[in-house]
Amino acid sequence: MARLFGTDGVRGVANESLTAELALGLSMAAAHVLGDMGGGGGRRPVAVVGRDPRASGEFLEAAVIAGLAGSGVDVLRVGVLPTPAVAYLTGALGADFGVMLSASHNAMPDNGIKFLARGGHKLDDAIEDAIEADYRHYLSGAEPVRVRPTGAGVGRVHEYTEGFDKYVAHLVAVLPNRLDGVKVVIDGAHGAAAKVAPEAFARAGAEVVFTLGAEPTGLNINDGVGSTHLDGLRRAMREHQADLGIALDGDADRCLAADAQGAEVDGDQIIAILAVAMREAGTLRGNTAVGTVMANLGFKLAMEREGIELVETAVGDRYVLEAMKEHGYALGGEQSGHVILLDHATTGDGTLTGLMLGARLAATKQPLADLAAVMTRLPQVLINVKGVDKSRAAGNPELLAAVAKAEGELGSTGRVLLRPSGTEPLVRVMVEAADQEQAKAVAEQLAGVVREQLAI
């Protein structure tokens, strides 16, 4: 039976694979596993529950809260807030665990459930497996693992309306300096930070000259806006003569940027900028940044030139975070814009990342394009191959042979990375080369082999 948990919680098409029944059962299981880990002392466990603005989040939130309260967990309902806000509040309020309903950058029909451990940290595989095992036991109709509470033993549900202000105040408080004089354009992806991000930048002293993706309807999240659709932000930067543009995703745990000319500044460049800033400030612990194997070769060369160590992990912000926590590093992230500033957040935080970029602009008085020039991106082509059986990607001999041949052609001037997505039904083909046309040709050739060999 396929594992329910992917690299970022449980995701699926809302009311199709991700049903109210699944949300209810998973929440009951999480209450048992996470509640037992953090509760005790004669009190009921407490959970923080938040969501992004997707319409399906309304009924899924109701199911999650019912499962938690019916299992004897008190719920602090914080409403529509970013994933990093729910993580922060889980820690700041001393809750036993947190739950976020979001499918991040995925299109609106999808939704997801993420569980956060005490302190606002992502779960490790063993805990996810324990939750899934408890859930499957519940599905089997076997004897209940635990007796359900009744009467005064059931959980209570409380509206926690102070979450927005508490989170924004935290973001502004951790900045190294104010953003006075910095003109900003913000694309909120019609998502969870559509209101949070403009408020945080304004309180930090920036002038928010334009916003887009700031009117969530529940149906338009990530629809032509946000970190996966940068054209609107790039146009707005040129039109409004702003200094910094940031684009968030649906749950605001990632951030990409644009400079005054509308050029994209990706996650690798953002990490490079912040790594140099933190090294100068003495806050880059171990003089090390953490990235993934998907990081551009230009990023690696830049870190080497700046004398900053680079630790590489598997793709996925959870693996970056694991390496950071294990070795005590303060900065890490992915090219896609998941940037983790572990001194101030337990997850990637797009709004915080954007604020830190703004603070660097304000402190140096340099344009973002000049700061981003710390690294030169080598041509990199990424093709997402849909409609294939991603589970066969690692063991298909014809595909492995095609990858080996491509690597031989590229030599030391490029590389190939082929991997199944952890959150979507597709295989990612990434090719890096000294020449854009060569990278494109090799990527398209490999994508064709993937379609042929892994066809469903």
Does residue 96 sit within a domain? yes
DSSP category for residue 175: -
Identify the residue with better confidence: 419 or 189: 189
Once rounded to an integer, what is the mean pLDDT over residues 88-117? 96
> Does residue 249 have a known ligand-binding role?
yes
> Does residue 27 have a known ligand-binding role?
no
- Residue 147 pLDDT class (50, 70, 90 cuts): confident
Quick one: 334 and 400 in the same domain? no
**Would you state the structure tokens that stand for residue 336, as one six-digit string?**
């896609």
Quick one: 262 and 304 in the same domain? yes
Please report the pLDDT score of residue 36 as a whole number. Answer: 82
Quick one: 146 and 46 in the same domain? yes
- Indicate the residue among 350, 373, 396 that finishes a domain: 373
Please report the pLDDT score of residue 57 as a whole number. Answer: 98
pTM of the model: 0.89
> Does residue 74 have a known ligand-binding role?
no
Cα–Cα distance between 198 and 13 in angstroms, integer?
Answer: 30
Please report the pLDDT score of residue 22 as a whole number. Answer: 97
72: number of CA atoms within 13 Å, CB side?
Answer: 20
Report the percent of the chain where pLDDT is more than 70: 98
Does residue 5 sit within a domain? no
Please report the pLDDT score of residue 146 as a whole number. Answer: 75
Does residue 2 sit within a domain? no
> Does residue 52 have a known ligand-binding role?
no
Q: Tally the domains of the chain.
A: 3
Please report the pLDDT score of residue 456 as a whole number. Answer: 81
Q: What value, to the nearest 5°, has the Cα angle with vertex 350 and ends 266 and 366?
A: 55
Quick one: 344 and 227 in the same domain? yes
pLDDT digits (tens, 9 = 90+) for 176-212: 999 999 999 999 999 999 999 999 999 999 999 999 9
Cα–Cα distance between 10 and 8 in angstroms, integer?
Answer: 7
Cα–Cα distance between 332 and 330 in angstroms, integer?
Answer: 7
Q: In the annotation, is 227 catalytic?
A: no
Quick one: 34 and 105 in the same domain? yes
Please report the pLDDT score of residue 2 as a whole number. Answer: 78
Quick one: 154 and 199 in the same domain? no
pLDDT digits (tens, 9 = 90+) for 57-72: 999 999 999 999 999 9
Give the domain CATH number at 178.
Answer: 3.40.120.10
**Would you state the structure tokens that stand for residue 378, as one six-digit string?**
């080598």
**Structural contact between residues 254 and 338, judged by C-beta atoms closer than 8 angstroms:** yes
Please report the pLDDT score of residue 139 as a whole number. Answer: 87
DSSP category for residue 316: S
Please report the pLDDT score of residue 293 as a whole number. Answer: 87
What SS3 class is residue 366? coil
Please report the pLDDT score of residue 338 as a whole number. Answer: 95
Does residue 437 sit within a domain? yes
Question: Picking from 3-17, 86-100, 238-252, 354-368, which range would have the lowest pLDDT averaged per residue?
Answer: 3-17
Does residue 233 sit within a domain? yes
- Residue 38 pLDDT class (50, 70, 90 cuts): low
Residue 131: alpha-carbon gap to chain centroid: 22
| Residue ranges in 141-266 assigned as alpha helix (H) | 163-173, 196-203, 231-240
Quick one: 319 and 181 in the same domain? yes
In whole angstroms, how far apart are CA 110 and each of 34, 101, 424?
A: 25, 11, 10
H/E stretch holding 1: none
Range of the domain at 60: 10-159
pLDDT digits (tens, 9 = 90+) for 221-265: 999 999 999 999 999 999 999 999 999 999 999 999 999 999 999
Residue-wise DSSP of 24-82: HHHHHHHHHHHHHHH-BTTB--EEEEEE-S-THHHHHHHHHHHHHHHTT-EEEEEEE--
Report the percent of the chain where pLDDT is more than 90: 84
- Indicate the residue among 159, 179, 202 that finishes a domain: 159
DSSP category for residue 259: -
Instruction: Write down the catalytic residue from 56, 102, 104, 336.
Output: 104
Quick one: 324 and 238 in the same domain? yes
**Would you state the structure tokens that stand for residue 7, as one six-digit string?**
């690299």
Q: How far apart are the first and last CA of the chain?
A: 18
Please report the pLDDT score of residue 1 as a whole number. Answer: 65
Residue 39 has pLDDT above 60, yes or no: no
Q: Which of 103, 122, 126, 135 is nearest to 30 (CA)?
A: 135
Type of residue found at 60: L
Q: Which of 160, 138, 140 is nearest to 94 (CA)?
A: 160
Quick one: 354 and 206 in the same domain? yes
Signed CA dihedral, 105, 325, 275, 315: sign only: negative
Once rounded to an integer, what is the mean pLDDT over residues 373-383? 92
Does residue 1 sit within a domain? no
Does residue 439 sit within a domain? yes
Quick one: 222 and 290 in the same domain? yes
Does residue 4 sit within a domain? no
**In DSSP terms, which residues pair with 312 in a beta bridge?**
291
Residue 425 has pLDDT above 90, yes or no: no
When the pLDDT of each residue in the chain is averaged and rounded to a whole number, the result is 94
- Indicate the residue among 105, 128, 159 that finishes a domain: 159
Quick one: 273 and 386 in the same domain? no
Please report the pLDDT score of residue 41 as a whole number. Answer: 59
Residue located via tokens 């990375």:
417
Quick one: 281 and 364 in the same domain? yes
- Residue 273 pLDDT class (50, 70, 90 cuts): very high
Identify the residue with better confidence: 185 or 393: 185
**In DSSP terms, which residues pair with 417 in a beta bridge?**
430
Give the domain CATH number at 417.
Answer: 3.30.310.50
- Residue 419 pLDDT class (50, 70, 90 cuts): confident
Classify strands 97-101 and 46-51 as parallel, antiparallel or unpaired.
Answer: parallel
Cα–Cα distance between 196 and 168 in angstroms, integer?
Answer: 7
